[in-house]
Chains A and B, each alone.
Chain A
Amino acid sequence: MSLVLSLRILGTMGLTLFAAAAFTPLPHALSRKLTLVSSLEPAGAIVVLGGGGVRHDGSLTDISLRRTVNGLDLYRRGLAPLLVFSGSASRNGYVEAEIRAELDRACGVPPVAILIQSDGHTTSDEASRIAALLQRRGIRKILLVVDAEGSRRGAGAFARVGLEAIPVPVDEVSLHEGDPEGSLALFRRVAIESLAWLYYRVAGYL
């Protein structure tokens, strides 16, 4: 097959994929496939995974803030007595986990009910470090606040280190259908997360 023909086929496939991603419900269907939904039940701790980090002015990114508020909501509903915030230091020195903890303390959560973990950089790394932290306290079951598409991979990574994780998915991208830009953003999330899931399978993290 000539190079030109190969490029044409590749281009046509790309165009078809673009049309399907932007103008059909395909990204939403794929996102639902990747999202692990479980019913909420009481657990030993609420673990809020790092995500998005901290902006240059020291405030949390939208993603990080959304997950933090979700964790706070679960705590207020009495689903667990302990909140664990994860999130490493950014290049300008701000530590995501510390800023999240500070925010929740300001919202009335007692300091003894908050743990922070600021050393893990990847989901697998976070799972190992948080498991070490919680297993010392005899905790075996957690509520895991994680992005919707990453919920399957996140729960798997925690299961591998001995914690039963009930995922509480938080949408990073609005799931409103009929918005091409939103659909493309969701498709990008799905593509990234699918690759990440594949990498975790191959690397033995799941």
Chain B
Amino acid sequence: MRSTSFILTVVTATSLGAYHLAIRRFGLAPSSLQTATLRMAEILGTALLFVTVNLAVGVATILALRAAAGWFLSVYLLNDLSLLVLSGLQALLFDSWRRTPGRDRAPVTRGHSGADDLG
């Protein structure tokens, strides 16, 4: 069996198990799964944003150091899996933070209330 099929089979089986457990044991509503899926997409989007910003800042820093200091620093320094993991953690923390009640001041927005903008 190819590993793609095997992995997808295992993940599908555990997802179905978790779905039944969530409904029967924890009393979660099937209809709220859609909201949860959208929230997952939101966190993933935030993570991608952090990855992009981290890469852009990293490349800019390396190019600036090359130009300013005159010694070579490889862009491949950024080719590290830990950058993806850390960006994911940044996104999770940011998402948890913005969902935690309590703000020091209202968010700065253009035209309308920022509360809607931030969900």
Contact with A along B66-80 (1 / 0, CB 8 A): 000000101000010
- B117 near A3 (CB under 8 angstroms)? yes
- Chain A residues contacting B8 (CB-CB under 8 Å) are 23
Closest to B95 in A: A7
Question: B58 interface residue, CB < 8 Å from A?
Answer: no
User: With contacts A4-B42, A11-B42 known, is A121 near B74, CB below 8 A?
Assistant: yes
- Chain A residues contacting B74 (CB-CB under 8 Å) are 121
- B-binding residues in A (CB < 8 A): 2-4, 6-15, 22-23, 121, 178-180, 188, 192
- A-binding residues in B (CB < 8 A): 2-5, 7-8, 38, 40-49, 72, 74, 79, 116-119
Mostly helix, strand, loop or mixed at chain B's interface? helix
- A121 near B72 (CB under 8 angstroms)? yes
Partner of A10, one of B38, B40, B48: B48
User: With contacts A3-B118, A8-B38 known, is A179 near B44, CB below 8 A?
Assistant: no
User: With contacts A121-B74, A192-B79 known, is A11 near B40, CB below 8 A?
Assistant: yes
User: With contacts A2-B116, A3-B118, A121-B74 known, is A15 near B44, CB below 8 A?
Assistant: yes
27 contacts between A and B (CB under 8 A): A2-B116, A2-B117, A4-B117, A4-B118, A4-B119, A7-B49, A8-B42, A8-B45, A9-B41, A9-B45, A10-B48, A10-B49, A11-B40, A12-B41, A12-B45, A13-B48, A14-B45, A14-B47, A14-B48, A22-B4, A23-B4, A23-B8, A178-B2, A178-B3, A179-B2, A180-B7, A188-B79
